[in-house]
Amino acid sequence: MVDQAERLREIFQESQFHKAPRRRGLSRIIVVASGKGGVGKTNLVVNLAVVMGQWGQKTIILDTDLGLANVDILMDLKPSFSLVDVIRGYKDLSEVVLRGPFNVEVVPGGSGLSEIVSLDNHQREQLISRLSYLEEKGDILLIDCSAGLSRTVLSFIAAADELIMVTIPEPTAITDVYSIIKVVNNYRLHSTVNLVVNMMRSAKEGENVFKRIDKVCQNFLDITINFLGGIEYDQHVHKAVLSCSPYVLQFPRSRAAQCTRHIARRLLFEEEAASGVNKKEGGFLNRLIQLWGS
Ligand SMILES: Nc1ncnc2c1ncn2[C@@H]1O[C@H](COP(=O)(O)OP(=O)(O)O)[C@@H](O)[C@H]1O
Ligand SMILES: [Mg+2]
């Protein structure tokens, strides 16, 4: 396995991260990551976005995961183009954005996203102005990542203002989540990590998973774990996936939908400090694109 710290070092060496021009975005930029695949990140992102849309938030999803069950599939959308086409200058963002229920907009990342590594200054500026819609027009930008610690995932984690880590109660998933939290801590990317425990069998089990992670972090790291909540294991999720419809719409009374609304409520209405909202200087896109630069 490639040394994770080595990768991060690479990112920061290659970027002029700290020299980014100062600029303040308007939206909350929340990145959703996990150690392991198949823990329910994409379902969480889609359903959180729809709930927030129902509650009047202008929500945009940036889909950077190239797994099988992509955001567009879960929302029954048909993308023709992706962010990669925008970055390459072939398309405007407006031609790429898809519209889902309750005003939720989806920007498909596209399969070449991880190859975009060496942008010159001119390309960077062009890209920032082409993408500024993402951080200026929405109230919330939710970024769905692929699992694990690729360079692309790390750049999204580093550039976002808030981080949600998703895990399931399995020991391997918990270990994987911890290894990412460790990197986030070591590089001071975030001072708070928000945790969601998916597919829990009971609220107690979710709480126990949180306590386990929290305890190791308290013992060995200098980072706060904020437990956003758990989502119960619920067959309705699977049924909704099969019919390409978010479970909060198809089965609004299901346990999974109730748990998801609880998490959305915590994110939207709780004290900002609790979830570690920490607007970084320089604007999200500037940071991201600096991280992608050569
Ligand atoms: N709370 C849940 N209860 C039951 N099944 C779930 C739950 N959350 C997710 N799943 C199942 O797990 C599968 C993977 O979810 P997905 O959101 O695609 O994970 P990831 O994006 O982390 O790879 C889904 O197709 C769904 O069937
Ligand atoms: Mg996914």
Concatenate the DSSP letters of all residues of 208-241 into one string.
HHHHHHHHHHHHH-S-EEEEEEEEE--HHHHHHH
216 within some domain: no
Of the pLDDT bands very low, low, confident and very high (cuts 50, 70, 90), residue 111 is: confident
The DSSP code sequence of 252-275 is: TTSHHHHHHHHHHHHHHHS-GGGG
From the CA of 43, give the closest atom in ligand 1. Answer: 17
- pTM value is 0.86
Q: What is the pLDDT of residue 8?
A: 54
From the CA of 234, give the closest atom in ligand 1. Answer: 3
Q: What is the pLDDT of residues 147-157, one digit of tens each?
A: 888 877 888 89
Q: Which of 32, 43, 250 to mutate to test the pocket of ligand 1 (most atoms within 8 A of CB)?
A: 43
| pLDDT greater than 80 at residue 252 | yes
Look up the CATH number of the domain holding residue 241.
3.40.50.300
CA of 43 to the centre of ligand 1 (A): 6
CB atoms within 10 A of CB 266: 18
From the CA of 233, give the closest atom in ligand 1. Answer: 3
Q: What is the pLDDT of residue 116?
A: 60
Residue with the bigger pLDDT between 178 and 280: it is: 178
Q: What is the pLDDT of residues 43-67, one digit of tens each?
A: 999 999 999 999 999 999 999 876 6
> Of the segments 71-80, 119-128, 188-197, which one has the largest average pLDDT value?
188-197
User: In this structure, are strands 192-200 and 162-167 parallel, antiparallel, or unpaired?
Assistant: parallel
| pLDDT greater than 90 at residue 69 | no
Cα–Cα distances in Å, from 104 out to 43, 151, 205?
Answer: 14, 27, 32
| pLDDT greater than 60 at residue 18 | no
Q: Decide: residue 250, CB within 10 A, 0-12 exposed, 13-18 middle, 19+ buried.
A: middle
122 within some domain: yes
Pair of tokens at residue 52 = 């927030």
Q: What is the pLDDT of residues 112-133, one digit of tens each?
A: 666 665 566 676 677 777 777 7
Q: What is the pLDDT of residues 262-294, one digit of tens each?
A: 999 999 887 554 555 556 666 777 777 777 665
From the CA of 256, give the closest atom in ligand 1. Answer: 1
Which residues surround ligand 1 with Cβ inside 6 Å? 34, 37-43, 67, 69, 198-199, 231, 233-234, 237-238, 241, 256
Domain of residue 282 covers 25-166+231-292
CA of 72 to the centre of ligand 1 (A): 15
CA of 36 to the centre of ligand 2 (A): 10
The DSSP 8-state label assigned to residue 20 in this structure reads: P
CA of 17 to the centre of ligand 1 (A): 34
53 within some domain: yes
The residue behind tokens 């823990």 is: 39
38 within some domain: yes
Q: What is the domain count for the chain?
A: 1
Of 2-11, 15-24, 163-172, 210-219, the one with minimum mean pLDDT is 15-24
3-state secondary structure of 193: strand
